[in-house]
Amino acid sequence: GTPAPARTVSLQTDAAAAKGFQKKALEGQDLWATMETNQGTIVLKLFSKDAPKTVANFVGLATGEQPWISPKTGERVEGKPLYDGVIFHRVIPGFMIQGGDPTGTGRGDPGYRFGDEFKSMRGFDKPGILAMANAGPDTNGSQFFITTSTPTNLNGKHTIFGEVVKGYDEVVEKIGNVPRNRQDRPDTDVVIQHITISDAQP
């Protein structure tokens, strides 16, 4: 048989063509994310002015506005949030918690990659910073981490695009200290149930 046509997606970075929260992110409007997990709720302020494309990616994958490729089927997914049901697959006490991989392995992505955004010169100067995980320069996808430390050695290596404004002690630290295996994967899944985006602080 003939090979199936390649399914391709890319990050929406055109503010004129974008809709909804992706458009607001690309235009630099302040946005917030309410992340419900099975360990409690984390509220994050997103830095649209500093990292518009990175925030557009996160809010698009949270709401379903951003298309992605299902790692299970290879099909293009539209209108369905990538992050719903995805786990924090890597937690390291006194460092950070990492999630957002649709495969739950640390090797997955949304079917595209996009560039770093470092123009703000923000650094990892306090805990509770939201940043993109990557595999080197300009390899951002859907994986992110929230710090429980101040890893300033990561400055200029991982795009910072938000910070925790609620739920740090009660939820982020709790997730950071769950029992885990030698690969730093929690013994019991820590699940992102849903992420709600808003343009006013919840």
Our count of domains for the chain comes to 1
- Alpha carbon distances (Å) from 20 to 80, 100, 162: 14, 21, 19
Domain-located, residue 40: yes
Say if residue 2's pLDDT is above 90: no
pLDDT at 1: 63
Tokens of 161: 């695009």
Domain-located, residue 77: yes
pLDDT at 8: 85
pLDDT at 48: 98
pLDDT at 183: 97
Domain-located, residue 11: no
pLDDT at 3: 62
Domain-located, residue 16: no
pLDDT band at 62 (very low <50, low <70, confident <90, very high): very high
Domain-located, residue 10: no
Say if residue 67's pLDDT is above 90: yes
pLDDT at 26: 98
Residues 175 and 136: their CA atoms lie apart, in Å, by 26
* Segments forming the whole domain that contains residue 36: 21-198
* CATH number for the domain that contains residue 68: 2.40.100.10
pLDDT band at 4 (very low <50, low <70, confident <90, very high): low
3-class SS at 198?
strand
pTM: 0.96
Domain-located, residue 155: yes
Domain-located, residue 8: no
Residue type, 184: D
**How confident is the model over 173-190, as pLDDT tens digits?**
999 999 999 999 999 999
Q: Hey, which residues are catalytic here?
A: 90, 95, 98, 134, 145, 154, 158
Domain-located, residue 1: no
